[in-house]
Amino acid sequence: MSDLNKLTIAEARDALRKGDTTSVELTEACLTQIEGAGALGAFVHKTPEIALEQARAADARIKSGDAPAMCGIPLGIKDLFCTKGVPSQAASGILEGFKPEYESTVTQNLFDAGSVMLGKLNMDEFAMGSSNETSVYGNAVNPWKVDDRQLTPGGSSGGSAAAVAADLCLAATGTDTGGSIRQPAAFTGIVGLKPTYGRCSRWGVVAFASSLDQAGPMTKSVRDAAIMLGAMAGHDPKDSTSADLAVPDFEALLTGDIKGKKIGIPAEYRMEGMPAEIEKLWHDGAEMLRAAGAEIVDISLPHTKYALPAYYVIAPAEASSNLARYDGVRYGHRAKLAQGDGITEMYEKTRAEGFGHEVQRRVMIGTYVLSAGFYDAYYNRARKVRALIKRDFDEVFAKGIDAILTPATPSAAFGLGEMAEADPVQMYLNDVFTVTVNLAGLPGISVPAGLSAEGLPLGLQLIGRPWEEGDLLNSAYALEQAAGFVSKPEKWW
């Protein structure tokens, strides 16, 4: 078989079981592609020895007949996941040299299922960013290109998106705090699933905002997302927010039959100044679902307009608390001290050197909104708004809506350097369609559904009921089938 790295998880699983290929061959094909793709900046730590050892073990399992669906599948792992004995830096200078003595629950679940780790993937520092430009490693680059413009793969899971879109791995792990799986998936023409908060364990995932963070799969198809989520998910007693719920066979629920399902179209997502091509994509997506037998219903989520400001109070507040532990005392970077410097100077210099500008900005915002005199005015008010946003969704689902269709992003991928430092608020607006899902703890998925006028991928988002990832994946599967998106970036790297 040629072009093994281009296979989907489902195709590779079937080929492995038939004996048409081996995990070692799959892994070697991906490692070869990774070596030739340095220009994408996707992989920041390569682990070929670990990968080949895991691949040999997977082949032995397959031979013995003990082969879960993910057995032998080569993956990229976002640098936010702690991986035992392998650098896990969250793309930050402050975690320089950190090699955990433990494995995150999600990666352990994947390895227990026989998956293969090709290496660690680039991302925005501490998952704070929408363009992968805040990474200490330098930015990842979108495999899609217009003329000579280098485009962002999105963020924070930009390395994951770039690696999957460029066929450097069969799939990748991502994390989503305000859209960090779904936005890069939309920008690179892949599928990105953010599960219900609590479906996947957060243990061993470097924390950004603990009430919002959620791990999920980034894949080449909806079927692959269903297969991979089944391996990632599960109750974890080490994570107090992990749900003690059985994990369904998500793949078995992919019938493509959505007859009679009610799909909501929220009026509040029609933003002023929305590009015509995004509006058209959204309309076309609704018509595709209607043609597949779904009922399209206009709905209202009245507190949507407050979601972005509420998110950018809550997330930095939680980040300022979570990042207080990085002080140069126990692990990671420690600043060189001058004669007479004390513990306070060590903290200040270490954090000033170790954190990038965006992380510093969010830590300062978070500390401000939690400070005496401002806690009620900002943080407490944002929490109340969050409750109202969740209530909007609860009321819509109580009226029989099965899923909600929205655009995934307000535009196609933009050029690197076009937004980053010049206007951080403009960058934050990239999350306008995605943050509500995190604030309400709901599952959401981005499905590639068309191309922009410039020939760049555009994604549609489906939002589901809590814990109904199976139903959501089936609706996404129907949308994927109808959209028929098969475009791939032309290789330039």
Which positions are annotated as active-site residues? 78, 156, 180
C-alpha torsion angle, residues 58, 206, 180, 466 (rounded to 10): 80
Q: How far apart, in Å, are the Cα atoms of 263 and each of 256, 299, 373, 397, 404?
A: 14, 9, 43, 10, 5
> Do residues 139 and 132 make contact, with C-beta atoms less than 8 angstroms apart?
yes
290, two tokens: 């209607």
In whole angstroms, what is the distance from residue 14 CA to residue 412 CA?
A: 34
Helix (H) or strand (E) holding 222: helix 222-232
In whole angstroms, what is the distance from residue 32 CA to residue 34 CA?
A: 5
Cis status, amide bond into 88, omega within 30 of 0: no
In whole angstroms, what is the distance from residue 390 CA to residue 441 CA?
A: 8
Residues near 308 by Cβ (< 8 Å), separated by ≥ 6? 428, 429, 431, 432, 435
Three state DSSP letters for 447-460: EEEEECCCCCEEEE
Beta bridge partners of 463: 404, 444
54 CB-side CA count, 13 A: 26
In whole angstroms, what is the distance from residue 131 CA to residue 93 CA?
A: 18
